[in-house]
Amino acid sequence: MREIWPGDSYPLGATYDGAGTNFALFSEVAERVELCLFDDEGNEERVSLAEVDGFVWHCYLPGVGPGQRYGYRVHGPYSPAEGLRCNPNKLLIDPYAKAVEGSVNWDQAVYGYRFGEPDSRDDSDSAAYVPRSVVVNPFFGWGHDRPPATPYHDTVLYEAHVRGLTITHPKIPDRIRGTYAALGHPEIIDHLTALGVTAIELMPVHQFVTDHMLEKRGLANYWGYNTIGFFAPHNAYSSSGQRGGQVLEFKAMVKALHEAGIEVILDVVYNHTAEGNHLGPTLSMRGIDNANYYRLVEDDRRYYMDTTGTGNSLLMRSPHALQLIMDSLRYWVRDMHVDGFRFDLAASLARELHEVDRLSAFFDLVQQDPVLSQVKLIAEPWDVGPGGYQVGNFPARWTEWNGRYRDTIRDLWRGEPAALPEFASRLTGSSDLYQDDSRRPAASINFVTCHDGFPLQDLVSYNGKHNEANGEDNRDGADDNRSWNCGVEGPATGPVAQLRERQKRNFLATLFLSQGVPMLSHGDEIGRTQQGNNNAYCQDNEISWVDWGAVLEAGATAEEDAGTVERRQLLEFTRRLARLRRDHPVFRRRRFFYGRPVRGSHDELSDIAWLTPSGTEMTDADWTNGYAKALAVFLNGDAITEPDSRGRRIADDSFLLLFNAHHEMLKFTVPKNYGELWCTELDTAMPGQSESRMCRAGEAVPVTGRSVRVLRRVRHTSS
C-alpha cells in the first residue's frame, strides 16, 4: 500500500526534495484529479489527490524520486459550448513538468472528440499515445557559474538552432551532434568567440510537438514554435540516454557557454500551445482547465481566439496563465541559469482584451519582478491580430527585433529609390522609434536575416520563394522578401557570383557598423543556403542545417571549388567586422548621436556628420533626392564623452563610412576639416585586403559600385 502524505499546494509541478516528491496541479473546474504513475513496463498506478487548496490539487509521495514518469487525469464537466473540456480518459502532461519523455503518437485517442463530430466526446484512453511527465533531480554542480551580464551596447547576438547548427559539424563527435552537448562543445564555443558573439539566442528549446498534418506529409516541426512544456528542455535535443537527462545536459551546456563569456537567450513561445484550435488534441491544459488557460470566443466558447495564427492564444487576463508564464521564466533564470528571453509574437502577450496594451498585466509583472527585470528581454514586436505591428512601442526596459531595420537595409542594397533618409535613421540606432521613451540605441536589435525568411546567401540569390519541399504548392511563406538575385535566379558563377559575395559583405558590414545590437543568423557567416526556401519551419534536413563542409579546414588548396574558398573568405571577413566593432566604441555608443559638437569632446566637430560623395554636408535637397544611393558618414571618436561600462571616458578613433549602393563606381572626396590623413580599414570590394591604403583630405577615393569602404582617421603623433 503506497504511503500518501497531504503535501503542499506550492510550488506547482513535481518537486523532489531528496526524500520524496510533492505533486501539485491547478484546476478550478476539476471535480476529481488522479495522479498517474508509470513503471518501466508502462503499468499505470493511479493516486487520487484528496487535498485541494485554492483550486490546487496536491499530495506528497515519500520515496518517489528522479526518473519517475507520471501524468494526470482530470474528472470534470465536458461541455465545449461552455468552454469546458475535461475528460479523464485523456492522460495529461503536467504544465509544470521539468522534463518530458516520448512524443505524441497521432491516434484518434489523443483527441477529445470523435473525428467529424467536433461537439462529441471521445472516451478512448490516450495513455498509450502521449508523452509522460518526468520527475527530475534539481541538484546540479554549478560551482562558480555566474551570468556574464554583458551590457547591451557590447552585445553581439547569434541566433541559432540547437540541432541545425551542430548536426553536420565534422569536428564534433557523432553521438552528440544536434544536441545541447554539441552546443557546449569547444568547437562551437571557439567558433562563436572568434565571431565576437557575446550571446547565443536559441530557437525554441521548450518541449514542443510536431503536429499531425506535418507528420502525415513526412515533415517535422523543425523550428519548434509549438510548445507543450514551458519548463522542460526539448527531449530530442539530448544525447543522454537517461530519463530526464536533458535537464542536466542543458545545464552543462549553459555552464560551458558562461565560462566562455557567452550568454544564453531563449526564444520562448508563451502566446499559444501545441493544443491548437477546437479541433486540436487534448494533451495538457485543455483537459485541465480550458477556460482558465486559453482565450475563448465570448459568444461561442467552443472556439478559440487566435492572434498567433496557430489556433489558440493564452488568456493573459487569467492570473493562472500569468502565473504559469512567470513561474516558467523565473525557473529558467534561477534553476537553468539562462540570461534572458526573446518573446515570440510578443504583441500577443499584451492582449488582455482586443487591443495591444503596452501596460498590460504581463509587462507590469515583469517590470516589478526582482529576477526577470534584471535579465535581457527581447520582443518580437508583432502578431497577426489587429494592430499587431508594435515596433517601438514596448516598455522601457525591453529591446525589440527591429523589422524596420531589416527592411530598410535590404531596400538600400537592392537599389530601391528614396532609401537614404530611413537608412540614416536605422544606421544610427533608430532614434525615431526609441528615443522618445528614454530608450537608447541598444533597444534596437538589428538584423538583416533571421530564421524566418531567406538566409543571407538566398537573399542575394533568389527574387522569389521556392518552398515546394514544404508540400503546400509554394503558397506558404512571405512574398515580400525584399531580395535581389543579382541577375540570375538560383546558383550562379562568374560575375553574378562575385557580385553576390560583395552584397553579402555589404549586408554584414552595415549590420556591424550600425548603432544598436547586431544579430547574426547562424550560418550566414559561411554562406548557408536553404535553396530558396523562405519558410523552412518543417525542414529538419539539409535544407535547414548549417553545412560546415570543408570551410573549417585551414588553408585553401588548388582542388577546392570556388564556393568553399568564398565561404572561408566570408567567415574571415565576418570575424574582421566583429573585431572592428569590439575594438572601437564609436560603433557601439550607449547614447544616440546629438548631431552637433559635444561639450567636453576633444575637438569642435559634430559627433556625426552626413556628407555627399563630393565631401559636402548633406542638404535637405540631397536627402529628398529620390535617386541618390550613396552617402558618407563621419563618426567622431573624440566626441564619445559618456563613460563605458566601467566608468572610463576613452576617446576612440574617428571613421568615415563610404556607402555606395549605386551600380557603378563613384569617387568620394575625403572632406576637409575632418582630419588630414586617413587609412582604409575595410573595403567590401576587397575582402582579403591586408595592407591599409592611405589618403588625404581633399583626395578623391574610388568606391566600387555596390560596396562599402571604411576609412579610419590617422592620429597625429609627435616625433
Helices (H), 89-196: 162-166, 180-183, 186-194
- Are 484 and 460 in contact by the 8 Å Cβ rule? The answer is yes
Residues 6 or more apart in contact with residue 258 via CB below 8 angstroms: 145, 146, 147, 148, 264, 337
604 is catalytic: no
- The Cα–Cα gap between 257 and 184 comes to 6
Question: At what angle are helices 494-513 and 403-413 packed, to 10 degrees?
Answer: 140
By three-state DSSP, how is residue 133 classified? strand
CA distance linking residue 461 with residue 456, whole number of Å: 9
CA max distance for the chain = 93
- Find out whether 534 and 481 touch, Cβ atoms under 8 Å: yes
Distance CA 580, CA 64 (A): 55
- Rounded-to-integer distance, Cα 296 and Cα 303, Å: 6
Alpha-carbon Rg for the chain, nearest whole angstrom, is: 27
3-class SS of residue 627: coil
Sign of the C-alpha dihedral computed for residues 296, 299, 301 and 307 taken in this order: negative
Question: Which distant-in-sequence residues (6+ apart) come within 8 Å of 1 by Cβ?
Answer: none
- Among the listed residues 263, 344, 607, 683, the single catalytic one is 344
Question: Of 308, 317, 312, which is closest to residue 360 (Cα–Cα)?
Answer: 317
Spacing of C-alpha 548 from chain mean position: 21
Residue in 263, 267, 380, 683 annotated catalytic: 380
* 344 annotated active-site: yes
Give yes or no for a contact between 683 and 644, defined as CB atoms under 8 angstroms apart.
no
Round to whole Å and give the CA distance between 16 and 135.
Answer: 7
CB atoms within 10 A of CB 13: 21
Please report which helix (H) or strand (E) contains residue 694, including its range.
Answer: strand 694-696
Instruction: Say how far apart CA 619 and CA 628 lie, in whole Å.
Output: 12
Torsion angle (degrees, nearest 10) of CA 117, 123, 125, 131: 50
At 196 the three-state DSSP class reads coil
Instruction: Kindly report the number of other CB atoms within 10 A of residue 649's CB atom.
Output: 10
Residue 471 is placed in which grid cell?
Answer: 508540400
Using CA atoms, how far apart are residues 137 and 248, in angstroms rounded to an integer? 9
Cis peptide bond prior to 204, omega within 30° of 0: no
Instruction: Find out whether 515 and 441 touch, Cβ atoms under 8 Å.
Output: yes
Nearest Cα residue to 272 out of 240, 326, 214, 311: 311
Give catalytic residue positions: 344, 380
